[in-house]
Amino acid sequence: MAGMGMGDDPLLAMLRFAPIVFVVLGVGFVVWLARQRLPDDVHREHVRVFEAIRAGDSRAARIAATSHLRRAAARLNLPIPGRDALTGAAAPNSSTNKSTAKK
């Protein structure tokens, strides 16, 4: 053990790269954080829905909720079928609107 140099210890050899690892992780975190949606925008969407419900305006509440769900799906890159904002029914030109009625 008396003759061991720094190059003989695997832990010390790996610690040489610690600053580089921290820089790469830090840059990755900053990039990830820059892509996140600000909570204020999402909060405003919820407030619009709440205010419409509190005012007793079901039409405005449905439109605000539908808008919020569409924006949430877009933020999460989720595909959603086309829906009518007022009735919630599938849009006539939607590719997911297939006739399932039995004759």
- Residue 43 banded pLDDT, cuts 50, 70, 90: confident
What are the boundaries of each domain within the chain? 37-91
Question: Which comes out higher in pLDDT, residue 48 or 15?
Answer: 48
How far apart CA 18 and CA 35 sit, in angstroms, is: 26
How far apart CA 30 and CA 26 sit, in angstroms, is: 6
Say what the pLDDT of residue 96 is. 47
**Which among 7-21, 46-60, 66-80 has the top mean pLDDT?**
46-60
Structure tokens at 37: 């949606």
How far apart CA 93 and CA 83 sit, in angstroms, is: 10
Say what the pLDDT of residue 16 is. 85
How far apart CA 101 and CA 92 sit, in angstroms, is: 15
What is the pTM (predicted TM-score) of this model?
A: 0.46
DSSP, res 8: G
Length of the chain: 103
- Residue 70 scores a pLDDT above 70: yes
Say what the pLDDT of residue 9 is. 85
Cβ neighbour number for residue 75 with a 10 Å cutoff:
12
How far apart CA 102 and CA 4 sit, in angstroms, is: 83
Q: pLDDT by residue (tens digit) across 9-30?
A: 888 888 888 889 889 999 988 8
